[in-house]
């Protein structure tokens, strides 16, 4: 299939292009588009046949439900009810990087929800994304626009790499500002529960209701046959081709340990090191890439997936990564890093 690729100017979004891409969605086709979290691969959320094409193009497991993207808060027809707490979260954080889970209405096909009785809904803050949803005249179901299992794309080049030739349209125009997928909060239970950490942090949500909690199982290796509440959390994810190992604990000891592993393996392995601005000059060997300043976790989050992808491009055999403190945005960053590593933490030194 020929894929039409258009890079929009965010400061002057071409209406005819948005309308053309919206028409592709209306006609049951697929469009990759930017959002503030990661790029999405969109189809008409209410059209079962269109949604099936997403699963095919990504090679996505059939039991992994899709998030439905909307352009405003009028979601009454998509859900059975909107609990008060959901209304509060929406009025504070929509549009933005947070998905809420509701009991779904009959309008949402089972293919979109992968057979669940619930549906995840999000209003992105990206203007291009919202204009596209408006032009399509329908909610857009969109997983991240990567081949299943690879790190999510935060730049149009990564979408092109994964999906060119497989879908009708790729819209570019902005790098994803957050770079980590949305926080997911299950609002069908009381108190609500965080199923995937993201840029809207536990600490921020606790200001609305301090009983909100994180589903603890998401930070450890899933046991065999374990069924997480967000089905996607059980798959190996965000993973570059080479194995990833995280070294956690005291930073000086981390640096020493990474250097020791690199030196032991240098003869037969090409090793990538995920470092930070503060530490990057302390690794004399290996291919060192910095995620940014440790004190600016938003930069670290924004760079993480593209750094993981960059190691694929140079074919390293092993990736060693520093760790981050599991609080605030650090919780989401560590969740993605741990998943990319299959939860392999080589060394934990102290707390």
Q: 99 pairs with which residues across the strands?
A: 184
Instruction: Give the CA distances from residue 46 to residues 63, 139, 251, 303, in Å, rounded to whole numbers and listed in that order.
Output: 18, 7, 49, 33
For residues 135 and 185, which CB has a smaller minimum distance to ligand TXA in the complex?
A: 185
State yes or no: residue 273 binds ligand TXA (CB under 6 A): no
**Which does residue 195 bind out of ligand TXA, Mg ion, none, counting CB within 5 to 8 angstroms by kind?**
ligand TXA
State yes or no: residue 119 binds ligand TXA (CB under 6 A): yes
The arrangement of strands across the sheet holding 287-290 comes to 287-290, 271-275, 318-322, 244-249, 345-349
State yes or no: residue 144 binds Mg ion (CB under 5 A): yes
Cα–Cα distance measured from residue 318 to residue 324, given in angstroms and rounded to the nearest whole number: 20
For residues 66 and 289, which CB has a smaller minimum distance to ligand TXA in the complex?
A: 66
Apex 166 CA angle, 165 and 168, nearest 5: 85
Place of tokens 């300043």: 293
* Bond from prior residue into 247 cis (ω within 30 degrees of 0): no
Cβ contact 320:341 at 8 Å: no
Cβ contact 138:45 at 8 Å: yes
State yes or no: residue 230 binds ligand TXA (CB under 6 A): yes
Q: 170 pairs with which residues across the strands?
A: 5, 32
For residues 86 and 195, which CB has a smaller minimum distance to ligand TXA in the complex?
A: 195
For residues 99 and 144, which CB has a smaller minimum distance to Mg ion in the complex?
A: 144
Nearest-approach distance from CB 60 to Mg ion, in angstroms: 8
Stretch of 10-18, 36-44, 277-285, 290-298 lying at the interface with ligand TXA (CB under 6 A): 36-44
Strand 40-44, strand 140-141: pairing:
antiparallel
Nearest-approach distance from CB 335 to Mg ion, in angstroms: 13
Residues 85-114, interacting with ligand TXA (CB under 6 A) = 99, 101, 113
Place of tokens 């991240």: 144
For residues 101 and 316, which CB has a smaller minimum distance to ligand TXA in the complex?
A: 101
Residues 41-60, interacting with Mg ion (CB under 5 A) = none
State yes or no: residue 38 binds ligand TXA (CB under 6 A): yes
State yes or no: residue 233 binds ligand TXA (CB under 6 A): yes
Nearest-approach distance from CB 200 to ligand TXA, in angstroms: 11
Place of tokens 């690794």: 283
State yes or no: residue 35 binds ligand TXA (CB under 6 A): yes
Backbone dihedral angles phi then psi of residue 319, each to the nearest 5 degrees = -120, 125
Q: 184 pairs with which residues across the strands?
A: 99, 196
Q: Which of 3, 23, 105, 118 forms a contact with ligand TXA (CB under 6 A)?
A: 118
Interacting residue ranges for Mg ion, rule: CB under 5 A: 144
Interacting residue ranges for ligand TXA, rule: CB under 6 A: 35, 37-38, 40, 64-67, 99, 101, 113, 116, 118-120, 122, 142-144, 181-182, 184, 195, 229-233
């Amino acid at each position: 299939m020929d894929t039409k690729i258009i890079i929009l100017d965010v400061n002057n979004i071409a209406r005819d292009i948005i309308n053309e891409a919206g028409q592709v969605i209306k006609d049951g086709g697929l469009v990759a588009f930017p959002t503030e979290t990661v790029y999405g691969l969109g189809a008409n959320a209410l059209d079962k046949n269109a949604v099936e094409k997403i699963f095919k193009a990504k090679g996505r497991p059939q039991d992994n439900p899709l998030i439905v993207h909307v352009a405003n808060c009028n979601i009454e027809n998509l859900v059975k009810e909107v609990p008060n707490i959901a209304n509060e979260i929406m009025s504070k954080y929509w549009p933005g990087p947070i998905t809420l889970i509701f009991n779904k209405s009959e309008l949402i096909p089972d293919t979109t929800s992968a057979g669940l009785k619930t549906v995840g809904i999000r209003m992105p803050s990206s203007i291009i994304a919202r204009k596209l949803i408006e032009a399509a005249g329908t909610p857009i179901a969109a997983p991240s626009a990567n081949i299943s299992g690879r790190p999510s794309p935060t730049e149009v080049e990564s979408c092109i790499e994964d999906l060119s030739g497989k879908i009708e349209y790729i819209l570019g125009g902005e790098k994803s500002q957050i770079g980590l997928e949305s926080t997911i909060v299950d609002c069908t239970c009381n108190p609500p529960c965080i199923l995937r950490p993201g840029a809207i942090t536990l600490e921020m949500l606790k200001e609305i209701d301090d009983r909100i909690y994180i589903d603890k199982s998401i930070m450890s290796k899933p046991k065999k046959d374990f069924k997480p509440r967000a089905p996607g959390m059980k798959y190996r994810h965000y993973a570059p081709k080479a194995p990833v190992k995280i070294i956690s604990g005291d930073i000086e000891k981390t640096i020493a340990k990474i250097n020791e592993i690199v030196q032991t393996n240098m003869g037969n392995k090409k090793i990538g090191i995920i470092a930070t601005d503060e530490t990057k000059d302390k690794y004399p060997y290996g291919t060192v890439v910095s995620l940014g300043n440790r004190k600016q976790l938003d930069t670290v989050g924004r760079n993480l997936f593209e750094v993981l992808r960059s190691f694929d491009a140079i074919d390293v055999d092993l990736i060693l990564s520093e760790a981050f403190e599991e609080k605030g945005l650090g919780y989401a960053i560590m969740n993605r890093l741990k998943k990319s590593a299959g939860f392999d933490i080589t060394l934990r030194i102290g707390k």
